[in-house]
Chains A and B, each alone.
Chain A
């Protein structure tokens, strides 16, 4: 799904992805403190396992990404967390590839980071549980849609023979957006009730 294998993308796309990923990881590493390191580890481990559970959907098989949630809880530290996750998946299971590590990190982490940066303040400030849930659902759906768009863009820019087909992308990403919206809303609502501080990357 979001794991683009080796040998599909062109060199400029790979290099561009690697540069953006490196910048994101550098930004995220600076943010990691005693409070955020364990959180990044727990989230990376949880999503690493969760993303191994694939659900067959039409021509493909999809799994949750939860990058919106990670962006909300980790801020820019979502980049190193996703990088570690993808590295392990590439090395242990052969999902994705090592040359595409940068591009895949950007495709998965960047939409979550941006969506959380845009919607995060409203989610944290919201006193209304229903509104918070709706915003969190939007966060989950938007980050998945962003990942789908970036994957399609990476393939289209590489002008390979593997161009994505919009119909297939919609058929696979739409159900995932719905699932992701529900899961993100549920987790955020729960955390807001029991541990609102967990929704903030920087200590207040």
Chain B
């Protein structure tokens, strides 16, 4: 059997190098609208986790909000006025399905992003905001809202079960069977 194992192992090693698995079975989609974040968790191939724990953390690892998903796997929360860095939302079904989504600091709170130092903006809203900056913030928020369905669609397409992948899995197994039988017949 050893002779047949070696090519399989080599093949597996090559595949492992070429394709780092990054997606998980559970996925999280999140979108920002002004200072409120909403989204949902979903299973690739169908289904939403109901009543699962979710937690949102900022870039420093501090908890912003937490709760449990509703019947549709949804969650929503308000951002603090000045979110520090990226916000990561993690959903844990408490039975080994864990997934998270990260909203980059750039897409978060367009109003805050328009001003380089977010701290003073939170302290004195409106002060020092030029018309240009406010316009830029409005445009950024509108673009974010307008592209949300697209982002959602991309996320879904990204994690679809593809027929071609299923077929290649089946044929890879058939190939392994062939290699095994061939190697055994060679040795006789």
Contacts and interface: CB of A to CB of B under 8 A. Distances in A.
B43 interface: yes
Given A41-B177, A54-B43, A94 B24 contact: yes
Interface string A85-102: 101111111111110000
A13 interface: no
B85 interface: no
Nearest to A97: B21
A169 interface: yes
Interface in A31-60: 32-34, 37-38, 40-41, 44-45, 48-49, 52-56, 58-60
B46 A93 contact: no
A94 B23 contact: yes
B19 interface: yes
20 contacts: A5-B98, A8-B98, A32-B180, A34-B181, A34-B184, A37-B181, A37-B184, A38-B181, A44-B173, A49-B169, A60-B47, A91-B21, A93-B161, A93-B165, A94-B22, A94-B25, A94-B159, A95-B24, A162-B98, A164-B94
B12 interface: yes
The 4 closest A-B CB pairs, nearest first, are: A94-B23, A56-B47, A41-B177, A61-B47
A145 interface: no
A106 interface: no
A59 B168 contact: no
Interface residues of B, number: 45
Nearest to A36: B180
B154 interface: no
Given A59-B49, A59-B51, A52 B92 contact: no
Given A41-B173, A60-B93, A94-B24, 15 more contacts: A5-B96, A48-B170, A49-B166, A54-B43, A54-B45, A54-B46, A56-B46, A87-B12, A88-B173, A91-B21, A92-B166, A98-B16, A98-B21, A154-B96, A162-B98
Q: Which one of A1, A37, A54 has the greatest number of beta carbons of chain B within 10 Å?
A: A37
A192 interface: no
Nearest to B165: A92
A151 interface: yes
A8 B96 contact: yes
A6 interface: yes
Given A34-B181, A56-B47, A92-B165, A1 B170 contact: no
A55 B22 CA distance: 23
A95 to B, nearest CB: 5
Nearest to A38: B177
Contact of B184 (A1, A33, A40, A44): A33
A194 interface: no
Interface string A147-190: 00001101100000111110011001100000000000000000
Given A8-B98, A94-B22, A41 B174 contact: yes
A163 B170 contact: no
